[in-house]
Amino acid sequence: MILAIFGSATPLILAALGGLLTERAGILNIALEGMILGSAFAAVIVGGMTGSLALAVLAAIGAGVLAALLFNLGTFTLKGNPFITGLGINVLVPALTVSISQSLYGNQGIIRPDGLSGISRIGGMDIFIPLALLLAVLLQIIFFRTRKGLIIRSCGEQEDLLRARGINPVSIKKEMVIYSGLFSGLAGAALSLGLGVYVPGMSAGKGWIALVAIYLGYRKVPGVVAACLLFSLAEWGANRAQGFLGVPPTLILSFPYFMTMAALWLFSVKKRKKVDCSGGFRVN
């Protein structure tokens, strides 16, 4: 049971860690959802064609990084709004997967190449689980013991400080977005290779839940991991206790959005109470 919960939390953790990197650098990566989906797709396609785990994972990472590059193009080079750029990717990815899937496999639905199932299991355990935990530890070390970690942490808070110290905050942000693409790539691979199948829309809001997990975990690595496990646990519990609890799993799908909304509201209320030197406005 524990293994199952960790297993289902792994894509979340991977995506959330990538999202944490960008969030700390000051950019909220809305495109996680699309990145995960695209990577899951790429992993299954390449894995199906080559039968190789390594190549499948590489393809997934490639897809994630490609999406990240697009995000950077739209947000930084073209100076767009990052939320909308992220949405653009979330819209573009499913459309592209459908087209590619149609031309490669002749259908737009589930893709289940032979021999793909279980490809990511070594010694009975999904290798992505320890990978995710390892990366979490690594990230924690980076945040607190390396100079780069300091830079990332201050980028989201006080860009001018970085500029004053001779560091360009924009390149830091772009770099973090690429890393989040990488992490999302791993997340997508974990998601689809674990099952050996690609289902359209299989990311199922995990990108959004990852964002909620970031805030629920107070933007710290241990907290984020814990939050992801919590979500996984809740999902497991909801599936088991469907009859007893009376809260249908479909309804639970709405929770991440409402939670994020509530958090946003509280955050805004708090912000209004603070003395704002530049002059906050009041309702007339």
Partner 1 sequence: MSDNSKIVLELKNVTQIFAESGVRACHDISMQVQGSEILAVMGENGAGKSTLMFLISGFMEPGRGEILCRGGKNPADLRALVGMVHQKPLLAGDLSVLENIILGPEKGLFRKDVLKEEIAAVQERYNLPLDLHLKAKQLTAPQIQRCELIRALWKNKELLILDEPTASLSTTQSEELFELLLRLKGEGKTVIFISHKIHEVMKVADRIAVIRRGELQGIDAKGNLSPREISRLMIGEDTLPGEEPAAEKRGEIDRTGVPVLELSNLGYSETGTRRLDSINLSLYPGEILGMGGIRENGLTHVEDILCGLEQPDTGFILLNGKNRMPLTPLKLRRSGISYIPADRLKRGAAPESTLAENLSVLKRQAGFGSYRKRLFSWAGQFISDHAIKGEAKQKVKTLSGGNIQKMIVARELENNPPLLIVSEPSWGLDFKSRDRLHSQLVQAREEGIAILLLTTDLDELLSLSDRICVLTEGRLTEIERTEEQWNRYYIGEKMTGADRA
Partner 2 sequence: MKKFRIPAALPVLALCLGVSALIIFLFSSAPGETLYYFFPAVLSNRLYTGEMLNTMVLLSLTGLGIVLSFRAGSFNLGGEGQVYTGAICAVLAARLLPDLPGALGIPVLLAAGVLGGALLAFISGILKALWNVDDLISTFLLSSGVSKVIDYLISGPLSDPDSYLMTTVPLPEKYRLASLMIPSPFNISFILPLLLLPLFHWFLNHTRQGYELQITGSSSSFARHSGLNTGIYQTLPLTVSGALHGLAGALVLTGTYFAGIQGLTSGLGWNGIAVALIAGNKVPGLLPAALFFAWITQGSRIAVLHSDLSLELGAIIQGVLFLLISSAVLRIKIRRGR
Residue among 90, 67, 69 nearest 204 (CA):
90
Q: Total number of residues binding partner 1 (CB under 8 A)?
A: 24
- Which region, judged by CB under 8 A, interacts with partner 2, from 5-13, 66-74, 127-135, 173-181? 66-74
C-alpha 109/C-alpha 21 separation (Å) is 33
166 binds, among partner 1, partner 2, none (CB under 5 to 8 A by kind): partner 1
CA dihedral 214, 267, 175, 93 (to 10 degrees): 70
For position 234 contacting partner 2 by CB under 8 A, the verdict is no
C-alpha 255/C-alpha 90 separation (Å) is 20
240 binds, among partner 1, partner 2, none (CB under 5 to 8 A by kind): none
78 vs 275, which CB is nearer to partner 1? 275
Least distance between partner 1 and beta carbon 148 (Å): 7
What Å distances lie between residue 75 and 59, 152, 182, 194, 246, CA to CA?
24, 18, 18, 33, 43
CB 201 within 8 A of CB 94: yes
For position 150 contacting partner 1 by CB under 8 A, the verdict is yes
Max Cα–Cα distance, the chain, nearest Å: 66
268 binds, among partner 2, partner 1, none (CB under 5 to 8 A by kind): partner 2
63 vs 178, which CB is nearer to partner 1? 178
Least distance between partner 1 and beta carbon 216 (Å): 17
HSE-CB of 117 using CA atoms within 13 angstroms: 5
239 binds, among partner 2, partner 1, none (CB under 5 to 8 A by kind): none
CB 207 within 8 A of CB 36: yes
Tell me which residues touch partner 2 (CB under 8 A).
Answer: 70, 73-74, 78-81, 83-85, 87-89, 91-96, 98-99, 102-103, 106, 108, 208, 248, 250-251, 253-258, 260-261, 264-265, 268-269, 271-272, 280-281, 283-284
